[in-house]
Amino acid sequence: MLPILAVTGLAKEARLAAGPGVIAIGAGGNPQRLRALLDDRKTPGCRAVVSIGIAGGLDPDLVPGDVVIASRIVTQDCNFKADLAIAEAVLARLAVMGAQVRIAAIAGVETAVLTVADKLALRGRTEASVVDMESHVAAAFAQAHGLPFAAIRVVCDPAARAIPAFAAQALKPNGEPDILAVLSAVLRDPRQIGPLVHLARDSGRAFATLKRSRGLLGAGLGIP
């Protein structure tokens, strides 16, 4: 049986996603780089494509650690339907968690959504619950190859919390955090320390849920 292709942004997400029956790739939060990586695959080499990782909250009811399973992916120009059977199978496996788990729309964007105002505007345009920078690329790849698609995203920053501007450039191409870039930004503007602490706390909650979710999904990410 062919494996599942797990599409991620951060190296930590890829490490969590990988396992029996799963091949994980990531592109450091860069949609163009991700497209190139996917295009370089001579054949899909998988039986389904799953976008998995953390995401920014758009629905004000969601808090860090809540889980959104995609019903569809919404971009500025396109709508991609997720596989409902897969979404329901994933929901059944994750329903035992204390965190809120729901099936809802996910917004896909080319650049990071950093401000509360921009999150609110994106929510108004798309009615999406969360936003990330990989799901729309993964969905387009799956559609092009006639493969089932799913997305599993854990809320990191809630809708009412802005992300420090430097965070968008604080990743290396391989998806690992660029610690020097973070330290340089804080040294230039110590006022960033508070938002950075909030982001670290939110990220910790999100990754704790992502790790637990991965364990519950099991081999092949629980894809039937």
CATH number at residue 45: 3.40.50.1580
**Residue 95, number of CB atoms within 10 A of its CB:** 10
What's the whole-number mean pLDDT along residues 51-58?
Answer: 98
Domain assignment present for 108: yes
pLDDT given for residue 137 in this prediction: 98
Helix or strand run (H / E) with residue 70: strand 67-74
Domain assignment present for 106: yes
Distance between CA atoms of residues 193 and 24, nearest Å: 32
Is a pLDDT exceeding 70 seen at residue 199?
yes
Task: Name the residue with higher pLDDT: 96 or 147.
Answer: 147
Is a pLDDT exceeding 70 seen at residue 95?
yes
Is a pLDDT exceeding 80 seen at residue 28?
yes
pLDDT in tens, 111-169: 999 999 999 999 999 999 999 999 999 999 999 999 999 999 999 999 999 988 777 66
Domain assignment present for 17: yes
Q: Cα-flanking dihedrals φ and ψ of residue 26, to 5°? A: -150, 165
Domain assignment present for 85: yes
Domain that holds residue 124: 4-161+205-217
Domain assignment present for 166: no
Domain assignment present for 138: yes
In one-letter notation, the amino acid at residue 62 is L
Domain assignment present for 181: no
Residue (of 83, 80, 98, 209) closest to 155 by Cα position: 209
Output the pTM of the full model: 0.92
What's the whole-number mean pLDDT along residues 1-26?
Answer: 95
In one-letter notation, the amino acid at residue 138 is A
Mean of the per-residue pLDDT values of the chain: 91
Most trustworthy range by pLDDT among 25-39, 139-153, 197-211: 139-153
Task: Give the Å distances, CA to CA, from 12 to 17, 42, 206.
Answer: 9, 26, 12
Do the bridges between strand 130-132 and strand 48-57 make them parallel or antiparallel, or are there none, so unpaired?
Answer: antiparallel
pLDDT given for residue 181 in this prediction: 66
Is a pLDDT exceeding 80 seen at residue 55?
yes
Is a pLDDT exceeding 90 seen at residue 101?
yes
- What's the total number of domains in the chain? 1
